[in-house]
Amino acid sequence: MNRSQALQYIKQLSEKGELEEATHRYALIIVDLILDEGNEELLHCHTTERLSAWIRRDALARQAKLSEEAFAEQFGIGHGNAYGCIEQMLSCIDYEFVLDLLIKHGQGSPEISPSKQDPGGKQVAQTPRN
């Protein structure tokens, strides 16, 4: 999947109301960052736990760099926005979807699956079946 296809897929799901706003925002960020060769740590996130930790660090770094207003506008955080605080926004991200996007966009696969859970309830990445 190329960048244009990934962005179109994210847009379609968002327009259908199938993506939480926080997932939509971070999916777009991830697609842009995949192309940045300086993001080796991101490219090594192969579990939802590692991706969650990376996104938390990234969000906190963006919060530190941006003005309060710019951060609130970019992430919908703060009084009168979608999320009251950064923790609320982070808890609403579908990390499985974003991980699936990261893995498949990086592999060039044309399909991205919605979130899935294994029988134990743990989020697992969906990989192409050959």
Q: Are 91 and 85 in contact (CB under 8 A)?
A: no
Q: Are 127 and 47 in contact (CB under 8 A)?
A: no
What's the pLDDT at 2? 80
> The pTM is what?
0.76
DSSP the chain: --HHHHHHHHHHHHHTT-S-HHHHHHHHHHHHHHT-TT-HHHHT--SHHHHHHHHHHHHHHHHHHS-HHHHHHHHTBSTTSSBSSHHHHHHT--HHHHHHHHHHHHHT-S--PPP-B-TTS-B-------
Ramachandran assignment for 111, one of left (phi > 0), alpha (psi -120 to 50 degrees), beta (any other)? beta
What's the pLDDT at 107? 52
What's the pLDDT at 122? 41
What's the pLDDT at 125? 43
Task: List, run by run, the mean pLDDT of 10-residue segments along the chain (130 residues).
Answer: 87 95 94 77 91 96 94 89 92 96 66 40 39
